[in-house]
A = this chain, B = another copy of it.
Amino acid sequence: LKARGNSTRVTGVDARPDHARRALQRGLVDDIADLAEALPSAGLVILAVPVDAAATLLPRVLDCVPAGAVVTDAGSVKLPMARAAAGHRRRGRYVGSHPIAGTEYSGPDAAQPGLFAGRVCLLCDTESCDGDALEAVRGMYAAAGMRVLTMDAESHDRHAAYVSHLSHISSFVLARTVLEIEKSSAAIADLAGSGLASTVRLAKSAPRTWTSIFVENAASIAGALDAYRKNLADFQRMIAEGDEQGLYEAMTQANDIGRVLEGLDAQGRRAGPGEIPPDHGITRKEKST
């Protein structure tokens, strides 16, 4: 936002003084402050902390900001936030958001101008938001170049378990397994192709952040992990039985992920708004300009 010149004054609040200093030094923020001193004059607050901490902070932040201020967050689990906001006298000022962009790195040195450009941002439970608060948050993400869609918090958490949280778990567990068995670091570095590096990239992500995501979204993740473990057991059985036909078919199905991630339908056309089934929980909205 700073790089695009869309922001006014940005005050940074961070539990780690070294991170706060570094953010100031990089010009990501204009000044640093304590939470208590920053809130009473804030116009728009972005909570970007682990999801359990964000849910704990949210009512306190809503209590302390001026009446017309807007509060949003950037977490990967939305139901705990919805629950934390429910019934608050300022519920309408909170707009839950999930900008789907990031890397395995965290902290102020991981900030990249352009990271959000062309990516999707989900806004959740927008029917509970005041109209002006919603437009302020939508406008901020649109200014960062994001495509803004809406979804209810429950659907968000269920889908996120499959398309994001499960990848992280498989990556963390794969890295741990390889490290456990291959005692020599040099052997792993020598024998690993770029394939391993790609598959375990997410295993470099911050444990504090991901502990809270996994625990806060435990219910949806349980279903995703059950499905993954069942498919894994099937795959192992096919290998043990030398079931070449079954393996070939399973991998041919898996190949389809390439097409899907490019946003193409089975005919190779770019999927348009009309092609999301109505029961899917997603409402597509055009980017506000």
Contacts and interface: CB of A to CB of B under 8 A. Distances in A.
Interface of A: 100-104, 119-120, 122, 149, 159-160, 162-164, 166-205, 207-208, 210-212, 214-215, 218, 221-222, 224-225, 227-229, 231-233, 235-236, 239-240, 242, 244, 247-266, 271-272, 275-277, 280, 282
B166 A207 contact: no
Given A174-B166, A251-B207, A180 B232 contact: no
B188 A195 contact: no
A178 B257 contact: yes
A276 B163 contact: no
Contacts of A263: 185-186, 189-190
Given A174-B228, A282-B190, A236 B261 contact: no
A176 B211 contact: no
A87 B210 CA distance: 54
Contact of A200 (B159, B177, B261): B261
Contact of A215 (B196, B229, B232, B242): B242
The 5 closest A-B pairs by CB, nearest first: A189-B263, A207-B251, A175-B257, A186-B271, A175-B254
B251 A164 contact: no
B214 A247 contact: yes
B236 A225 contact: yes
A182 B227 CA distance: 12
A173 B222 contact: no
Given A229-B232, A240-B218, A250-B172, A185 B100 contact: no
Contact of A227 (B181, B242, B261): B181
A177 B190 contact: no
Contacts of A173: 228, 231-232, 235, 254
Contacts of A164: 191-193, 195-196
Most chain B beta carbons < 10 A, residue from A195, A207, A253: A195
Given A160-B191, A177-B166, A186 B276 contact: yes
A249 B280 CA distance: 36
B262 A239 contact: no
Nearest to A207: B251
A194 B103 contact: yes
Contacts of A236: 222, 225, 229
Contacts of A260: 179, 185, 188-189
Most chain B beta carbons < 10 A, residue from A183, A194, A218, A277: A194
17 contacts: A101-B194, A102-B194, A162-B177, A162-B178, A163-B187, A163-B191, A167-B198, A170-B174, A171-B195, A172-B254, A173-B254, A179-B253, A187-B276, A204-B258, A210-B247, A215-B239, A229-B236
